Chains A and B, each alone.
Chain A
């Protein structure tokens, strides 16, 4: 870039795109791996011999592998991809330290590999979405601190005064995940592989779900809203609909969200007042959550015609719509009486996946396809395949979600049904499990369609980056000279 020149009064900014490409490829690869494990465990639920009779391949051990791979490897890496790419451009500066960027990248991938080794061996601390044992938890903390130092270091050396809304969302991600991870994993190590949590009983459950629910928010929603606020207006080439709305809904979410965890513990040993708190804060989250959807969809006003031809905008619109749908479903499910029916059923699984496949997955694909030609300065090898991927993924999500809604409602109603004599109408649990099988096969079909789409993306990415480079190089980025 030394040959690049800038207009008088401006300097050339040399962004670090190498780190972005690394995180990009990690996202694509871990995404396919995580979804493959998802397809395998979906098959195991429909057809038990797929457990293979080996301890390492049973559902109980592969399920945390699936959840961790898609949340922390697939979603985590796309957050880092988008953050490293967009924050340099939004702040008009290269990352504060390339070394820290590299430590962050390799450290994070190493943590994922260690999870992929320990879970099948049954080495976990049995906390949902926080199964990693204490030595790996310590590694996560150290790597997160490295990321945080680099993040705030970059913020400190920014060349602009105004901090764009996407950066606010990224900041809440960096800070809150650190707090959640550390507090939930406080434990007394006993051996290298085993530890005991410092909380016990109901307190432990409450801390776990304070973490569990906020991980969904501060890992799978705030950074993704940040990505939406950068990549959606970029892809649509439209101004953000309302600056005011973005600020109000950001602070609304930050204030309200952290209280919603107890809705996972309705009808439990948790005191009634704490249950009420979890429920009402979840209800109050509806409008602030929808603020993000509104700002996304209204930003596309005047660009709807582009939707017909641009698969990236298609991915974004479906993603934002699923976000709106699952942030409506969530508050509804946290109402006491609705939760009494929905809790522990497949409805919860459907809810989680409409968020994960619909919102996180679709937005991730949009960002990846938008970045692909720009990061490697190459034309996408199979442009039609992008649209095919979109349709496979969309149809897959619909089949998956509908199957799980039906299965969950059926289970919930049959568990509580009472006959005329006042006895349980379905006293034998396994009978109801057998009735779920058709829905499990449908879910496998939906999940497989989604997975095939991701494999097509993988092929497209690797074909593209091996293709010929564009002749014209992009104009260098510049910033006002300080």
Chain B
């Protein structure tokens, strides 16, 4: 900043009395400007041409890293079956998470009734599993898939289907 001259330009009469100095640009400011310009070009070339990045590529890399870290999740093809063990485990999950809306005897309340043979979104096991996984956000039902995980979703589906069959009386 020692280059300051504080030389007045002499425009004041044409700027309502405001004087202007003709000081040079501060070196660090000019340095910052050039640094960002060079960085901007460097980054663009690096991102697109040298390391060939993209947001799809980034997602794929993240998914791959996740599969390596949690291999059992990656092949989470959990089999579905209505077994007494699955139903018992499912009942516990139901009481903890689902009862508040769907009722203690599947009679419904905030959520729809599950004790009849009317299935709004389909009554096959894959339909029930899908609805638990994805939820019905527009009606206020949460997407339980990421909360419970595939095994617990299957167990609670097993409980709901077996209890429903019992109540409808097939």
Mark A residues whose CB is within 8 Å of B: 86, 89-90, 92, 160-162, 164-165, 230, 233-234, 239-246, 248, 252, 267, 272-273, 275-277, 279-281, 283-284, 286-288, 290-291, 294, 298, 421-424, 427-428
Task: Enumerate chain B residues within 8 angstroms of A280, measured Cβ to Cβ.
Answer: 39-41, 43-44
Quick check: B15 and A164 within 8 Å, CB to CB? yes
| Distance of A438 from chain B, by nearest CB (Å) | 25
* In the assembled complex, B142 has its CB within 8 A of some CB on chain A: yes
In the bound assembly, the distance between CA atoms of A47 and B25 in angstroms comes to 50
Task: Enumerate chain A residues within 8 angstroms of B96, measured Cβ to Cβ.
Answer: none
Give the segment of B47-55, B77-85, B153-161 that binds chain A: B47-55
Quick check: B22 and A242 within 8 Å, CB to CB? yes
Give the segment of B29-37, B87-95, B104-112, B121-129 that binds chain A: B29-37
Task: Enumerate chain A residues within 8 angstroms of B147, measured Cβ to Cβ.
Answer: 423-424, 427-428
Quick check: B21 and A161 within 8 Å, CB to CB? no
Given known contacts A230-B18, A287-B33, A242 and B149 CB-to-CB distance under 8 angstroms: no
Mark contacts of B1-35 with chain A using CB atoms, 8 A cut-off: 1 yes-contact digit, 0 otherwise: 00000101101011110111111111001101100
| Distance of B85 from chain A, by nearest CB (Å) | 21
Given known contacts A162-B14, A240-B21, A424-B146, A276 and B44 CB-to-CB distance under 8 angstroms: yes
* In the assembled complex, B69 has its CB within 8 A of some CB on chain A: yes
- B147's closest neighbor in chain A, by CB? A427
A-B contact count (CB 8 A): 117
In the bound assembly, the distance between CA atoms of A436 and B43 in angstroms comes to 36
- Using A161-B14, A240-B20, A291-B29 as known contacts, list a sample of 8 further A-B pairs with CB atoms less than 8 Å apart, ordered by residue number in A: A164-B14, A239-B18, A242-B21, A242-B24, A245-B23, A248-B25, A424-B147, A428-B142
In the bound assembly, the distance between CA atoms of A26 and B36 in angstroms comes to 41
**In-complex Cβ contact of B69 among A284, A291, A422 (8 A):** A422
Task: Enumerate chain B residues within 8 angstroms of A288, measured Cβ to Cβ.
Answer: 33
- A422's closest neighbor in chain B, by CB? B70
Given known contacts A90-B16, A162-B11, A164-B14, A244 and B73 CB-to-CB distance under 8 angstroms: no
Task: Enumerate chain A residues within 8 angstroms of B15, measured Cβ to Cβ.
Answer: 90, 160, 162, 164
Quick check: B18 and A240 within 8 Å, CB to CB? yes
| Distance of B60 from chain A, by nearest CB (Å) | 14
In the bound assembly, the distance between CA atoms of A470 and B55 in angstroms comes to 66
* In the assembled complex, B165 has its CB within 8 A of some CB on chain A: no
Quick check: B33 and A252 within 8 Å, CB to CB? yes
| Distance of A304 from chain B, by nearest CB (Å) | 16
Given known contacts A252-B33, A427-B147, A241 and B14 CB-to-CB distance under 8 angstroms: no
Quick check: A239 and B54 within 8 Å, CB to CB? no
